[in-house]
């Protein structure tokens, strides 16, 4: 069994070799996704000026581009041959890997969960709304009466239901054509339909949450309950004397631990998402899972045949999709504590170096007026990502993908060696 220092050295070495060999292609994938996102965002705005609902539906393609970049980068690193200097056991077996469209379908829901959970969905919606309102204001004739509309005023709820029904019909037709034809376009149409479902679902759920919050705020006792809970906290903070800005804040253990947890969780989430693509034979349902699924199906045999067929198709499809996710989680879990810590530290180190590279480049450029800096910051953001924003950038993201892929290769090698030892 390799020691902890040996695992870390192999992880660093393999990450650098993957970056040197595949870094340019990964950067090209990231740049293509960045450019496509900007173009599709503008297209969504132009459509949203005519129809708010269709603009929101088109916006789902922007989210789909992010998924394509994620899956494309991990697929490239998964299918690539290992570097010459790397041990042969580090190569990931890909003979049972899923096709491209199947990987997209499996990774869709977990990726969108991450995308919404870390606020990236909100950032995309805010960028869309800001651009839509600015464009509409620039084209409004203020000499006539014009009523301002919200960027997300899609009208009555039944329009959203009609959109979901139309997307469902398109997906059904695409699935039928997929079984009759080997063309690659039909699986991609299925993925686009499912991505649209996810985007509309997140929008509807966010609307429900806002409605529930407004309903709770309108209750007669809500003001008294809020005052009883938050009143002492406001009274305590209002009595605190202002502190100079250059003073370090007082150390509080629990907020520090909470921030450290979320800071460490993001690279581990990416690691688990990448493991879905790297998992071995993730398109096959294990016999144990198949038996459990068949047992559940036997429980509704007394229902009518159309209902049984629908539930059986839905149930087995759910097992197939989430079984692949479980395989990915198990692959990530086989990494071990030292390798997991190595992934976490190296991933965050790349992000830290990117932030300081942005700051260093800004110091080298020197002070300029706001208009000039509005132009200069765009290439810096594209190369290193804005400081304080979610990690990304033409030079940062490919290195982070290589760190994750190297960790997954080593985790796969560790899992195979342990399986061989116990066989």
Q: Tens digit of pLDDT for each residue in 257-270?
A: 888 888 888 888 88
Q: pLDDT grade, residue 85 (50/70/90)?
A: very low
Going by C-alpha positions, the residue among 27, 28, 203, 195 that lies closest to residue 104 is 195
pLDDT tens readout for residues 141-194: 665 555 556 666 655 556 667 777 787 788 778 777 777 776 667 777 777 777
The pLDDT assigned to 366 comes to: 87
Chain mean position to CA 87: 31
95: pLDDT strictly greater than 60: no
Give CB contacts under 8 A, 24+ apart, made by 35-43: 36/65, 37/62, 37/65, 37/66, 40/65, 41/124, 41/127, 41/128, 41/131, 42/131
The pLDDT assigned to 396 comes to: 94
| Selected residue with higher pLDDT from 274 and 415 | 274
Calpha distance 165→171 (Å, rounded): 10
How is residue 94 written in tokens?
Answer: 């890909």
The pLDDT assigned to 407 comes to: 92
Q: pLDDT grade, residue 298 (50/70/90)?
A: low
- Angle at 179 (CA atoms; ends 176, 181), nearest 5 degrees: 100
Q: What percent of the chain has pLDDT over 90?
A: 18
- Strand extents, DSSP E, 118-275: none
Query: CB burial class (10 A; 0-12, 13-18, 19+) of residue 99?
Result: exposed
What is the Cα Rg of the chain in Å?
25
Q: pLDDT grade, residue 63 (50/70/90)?
A: confident
pLDDT tens readout for residues 328-354: 667 777 778 888 899 999 999 999 999
Helix orientation angle between 4-50 and 337-365, rounded to the nearest 10 degrees: 60
The pLDDT assigned to 347 comes to: 95
Calpha distance 284→365 (Å, rounded): 54
> Across all residues in the chain, what is the average pLDDT?
75
Going by C-alpha positions, the residue among 154, 259, 261, 245 that lies closest to residue 204 is 154
Query: CB burial class (10 A; 0-12, 13-18, 19+) of residue 413?
Result: buried
The pLDDT assigned to 87 comes to: 44
User: Do residues 11 and 342 lie in contact, with contact meaning Cβ atoms separated by under 8 Å?
Assistant: yes
- Reduced to 3 states, what is the DSSP secondary structure of residue 147? coil
The pLDDT assigned to 193 comes to: 76
229: pLDDT strictly greater than 60: no
Calpha distance 92→413 (Å, rounded): 7
Lowest-confidence segment of 73-87, 105-119, 225-239, 245-259 by average pLDDT: 225-239
49: pLDDT strictly greater than 80: yes
Lowest-confidence segment of 3-17, 103-117, 279-293, 324-338 by average pLDDT: 279-293
The pLDDT assigned to 15 comes to: 94
User: Which residues make Cβ contacts (< 8 Å) with residue 104, sequence separation at least 6?
Assistant: 67, 68, 71, 188, 191
**CA distances to 65, 124, 150, 161, 200 from 131, in Å:** 19, 11, 12, 26, 20
Task: Name the pTM for this structure.
Answer: 0.75
The pLDDT assigned to 343 comes to: 92
DSSP codes of every residue in 271-325: HHHHHHHH-SSTTS--HHHHHHHHHHHHTTTTS-HHHHHHHHHHHHHHHHHHHHH
322: pLDDT strictly greater than 70: no
Q: pLDDT grade, residue 64 (50/70/90)?
A: confident
| Mean pLDDT on 371-397 | 87
User: Do residues 347 and 319 lie in contact, with contact meaning Cβ atoms separated by under 8 Å?
Assistant: no
20: pLDDT strictly greater than 90: yes
């Amino acid at each position: 069994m390799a020691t902890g220092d040996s695992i870390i050295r192999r992880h660093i070495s393999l990450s650098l070799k993957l970056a040197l060999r595949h870094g340019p292609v990964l950067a090209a994938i990231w740049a293509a996704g960045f450019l496509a996102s900007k173009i599709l965002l503008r297209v969504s705005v132009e459509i949203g000026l005519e129809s708010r609902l269709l603009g929101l539906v088109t916006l789902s393609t922007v989210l789909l581009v992010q998924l394509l970049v994620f899956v494309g980068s991990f697929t490239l690193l998964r299918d690539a041959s290992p570097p010459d200097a790397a041990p042969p056991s580090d190569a990931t077996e890909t003979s049972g890997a899923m096709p491209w469209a199947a990987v997209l379908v499996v990774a869709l829901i977990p990726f969108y969960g991450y995308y919404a959970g870390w606020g990236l969905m909100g950032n995309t919606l805010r960028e869309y709304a800001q651009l839509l309102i600015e464009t509409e204001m620039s084209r409004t004739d203020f000499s006539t009466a014009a009523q301002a509309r919200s960027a997300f005023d899609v009208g009555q709820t039944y329009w959203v239901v009609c959109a979901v029904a139309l997307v469902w019909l398109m997906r059904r037709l695409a699935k039928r054509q997929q079984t009759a034809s080997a063309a690659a376009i039909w699986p991609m149409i299925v993925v686009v339909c499912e991505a649209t479902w996810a985007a509309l679902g997140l929008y509807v759920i966010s609307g429900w949450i806002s409605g529930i919050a407004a309903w709770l705020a309108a209750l007669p006792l809500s003001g008294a309950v809020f005052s009883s809970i938050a009143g002492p906290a406001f009274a305590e903070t209002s009595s605190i004397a202002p502190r100079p800005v250059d003073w370090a804040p007082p150390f509080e253990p629990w907020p520090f631990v909470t921030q450290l947890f979320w800071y460490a969780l993001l690279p581990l989430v990416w690691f688990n998402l990448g493991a879905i693509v790297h998992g071995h034979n993730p398109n096959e349902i294990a016999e144990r899972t198949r038996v459990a699924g068949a047992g559940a199906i036997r429980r509704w045999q007394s229902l009518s045949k159309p209902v049984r067929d629908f539930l059986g198709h839905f149930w087995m499809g759910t097992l197939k999709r989430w079984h692949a996710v479980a395989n990915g989680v198990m692959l990530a879990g086989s990494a071990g504590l030292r390798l997991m810590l190595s992934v976490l530290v190296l991933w965050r180190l790349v992000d830290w170096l990117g932030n300081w590279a942005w700051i260093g480049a800004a110091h080298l450029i020197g002070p300029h007026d706001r208009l000039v800096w509005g132009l200069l910051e765009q290439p810096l953001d594209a190369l290193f990502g804005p400081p304080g924003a979610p990690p990304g950038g033409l030079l940062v993201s490919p290195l982070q993908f290589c760190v994750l892929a190297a960790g997954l290769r080593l985790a796969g090698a560790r899992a195979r060696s342990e399986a061989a030892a116990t066989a």
